[in-house]
Structure 1
């Protein structure tokens, strides 16, 4: 059954101002061109929070507008005004999100160790595997083909979607969301050679090679776990490696996008955003409220302070102080990087000017 609320109820739930007929039923949300006139059973509400989008509104429809826009101009039947559009969109999408399609109860094909503790109201999908001594909180929803390893503890109201793998010894707080295919608690990528490796030599010499010898890698085993705070989200096909001795940690409220790699022993603070294809190498420490945009790379064993924002594809090789905005490879202050880019664009003109100067100097020398 389609979820339906009146536009007045929706406005009050979103703490926003309503205009027009507050009794109209809202059954969902759509883009302006897809939201037709409201029918006898209601209709969808259009997201039109700028004049550019509002031009596609159809007469007789419902819309979410920005403050200052005039609903009568678009011949609407009702409207909600958004003082902060994206925040209102968060509330709207939450109101109409049906959640994952996981049937209540435990599917007969799920394999659950008798020592596992499953909280009240939890749902476990087909072919899920729950290992020994696992603890799953109340109202958790575990999708099909999910595997959860020995002695892992997951808090209340978790959503773990199809094919996610959570290894042994992971601890997660409440309201964890894990998207399909994510892996939490795999071994860290940690190896050593009996003698100084080529990598260690290059770090010491910054380039020159004394000699090249045959090397064999010896695995350093991962004995630590992974600790996740409350309200953490892990994107599809991302991985969070377990620590070597101590746990890899992700703070409460941190959101990790798809295809992100978090290395062993990494510590990430609270309320961070780690965007798609970012990679954080082992033992790096990330502060609170840090934003790493897509394809950002973080070197191992460095520290990034609180409230740092790193622009897309930045490569961070050294410590970054709190509050700094950085960009580039290697990453520097954003304003510095912008000046570098301006200078690079001027290089062809400088080269032409230099060539002309060289010609002039040559002619003068020949005449002299």
Structure 2
């Protein structure tokens, strides 16, 4: 899968100089780059590594004297991670899924599959399913009845998509994800201990036996365009209305979205994030790894929450949060500083107590 430096530069919308006809087969860190590889020295701190490798061409920061580095060609970038996105796209061949329908696939006669779709081994597609043009579906995927999936979807091994789910175009689903399972919703005939604790914040009356009765999930899941779902992530269907994920939102691995949750557009939900039922997440929200969001609350547009933050109450637009319970990040940083000072403070208080006691005994106080 060789490409010329000129073609790569065009793909990145970047300037390039030198022998633009040089072909490279892949990218590499500078010290280990072969002659047929493109060295990634997009930050100045990596430039010294070029001399340790054999690369003829490299991606370097704008303004770099590439000839002094012994290169024959260079591509110039100003935003390395954005360049990395374009470069990785150019070199990624994608999953190997043979065109057409594998003979072991089970496809209901009423399903509609768009042109140029590729359906892998042991895929099961249910009654009335509609899948758009150019879809690629890897082995052991199941898609239940009545589900609609847009064009150019890529659904990887072992994903499970439940009944009546609606998914937009250019959907990417990593292995093992489950979309449209029943929500975790149960009720007791009398007020449960959980309801009592919610009302009293810890005070319990007489404790009785209680049995849980399932509340069935009659809703579904609706997902916009350009959404990506990470491996082994789960999105529960709504109780009556749909659980929804806005266009452009990306979910990392092991993310859980509870029933009735609404997630806005262009959000980034990192690994092990959990959002409890009926909460609403605004647009462009970033929740770092292991963040938790309580049920029935609102997280405003453009909120950013640091790792392991636990959000128990509504968060206004644009707030930067950290900690458990979540507070403004600058407040949480000050809290942590003060906690580290506690040992010294206790020592000082003990010394003051000894001094006061000694002076009292001498009659000086």
* Length-normalised TM-score, structure 2: 0.97
Distance 1:223 1:27 in 2: 51
| 8 Å Cα contact 2:43-2:80 kept in structure 1 | no
Cα drift, residue 14 of structure 1: 1.2
Structure 1 equivalent of residue 10 of structure 2: 12
Structure 2 equivalent of residue 53 of structure 1: 46
Aligned length: 361
| 8 Å Cα contact 1:35-1:61 kept in structure 2 | no
Cα drift, residue 6 of structure 1: 1.2
Cα drift, residue 366 of structure 1: 1.9
Residue by residue over 1:282-318, the C-alpha shift from the partner in whole angstroms, topping out at 9 and shown as x without a partner, is 0000000000000000000000000000000000000
Structure 1 equivalent of residue 337 of structure 2: 342
Residue by residue over 1:60-104, the C-alpha shift from the partner in whole angstroms, topping out at 9 and shown as x without a partner, is 521111123221232111110111111111111111110111100
Distance 1:73 1:326 in 2: 46
SS, match of residue 65 in structure 1: strand
2:324 to 308, 329, 334: 329
SS, match of residue 151 in structure 2: coil
Q: How do 1:17-166 residues align onto structure 2 when only pairs under 5 Å count? A: 17-37=15-35, 43-57=36-50, 58=53, 60-166=55-161
Distance 1:196 1:357 in 2: 52
Instruction: Report which stretch shifted further, 92-101 or 24-33.
Output: 24-33
| 8 Å Cα contact 2:174-2:229 kept in structure 1 | yes
Could you say if the C-alpha distance between residues 112 and 59 of structure 1 is closer, same or farther in structure 2, counting changes exceeding 3 Å? closer
| 8 Å Cα contact 1:60-1:75 kept in structure 2 | no
Give the gaps of 5 or more residues in structure 1. 38-42
Give the gaps of 5 or more residues in structure 2. none
Distance 2:142 2:178 in 1: 10
Structure 1 equivalent of residue 281 of structure 2: 286
| 8 Å Cα contact 2:39-2:55 kept in structure 1 | no
RMSD: 1.0
Cα drift, residue 59 of structure 1: 5.0
1:364 to 355, 359, 362: 359
Cα drift, residue 13 of structure 1: 2.2
* Length-normalised TM-score, structure 1: 0.96
Structure 2 equivalent of residue 264 of structure 1: 259
Residue by residue over 1:183-232, the C-alpha shift from the partner in whole angstroms, topping out at 9 and shown as x without a partner, is 00000000011111111111111111112111111100000000000000
| 8 Å Cα contact 1:119-1:138 kept in structure 2 | yes
Structure 2 equivalent of residue 40 of structure 1: none
Query: Which 4+ runs in 1 deviate beyond 3 A?
Result: none
Cα drift, residue 364 of structure 1: 2.0
Structure 2 equivalent of residue 355 of structure 1: 350
Residue by residue over 1:143-198, the C-alpha shift from the partner in whole angstroms, topping out at 9 and shown as x without a partner, is 10000000000000000000000000100000000000000000000001111111
Distance 1:36 1:115 in 2: 52
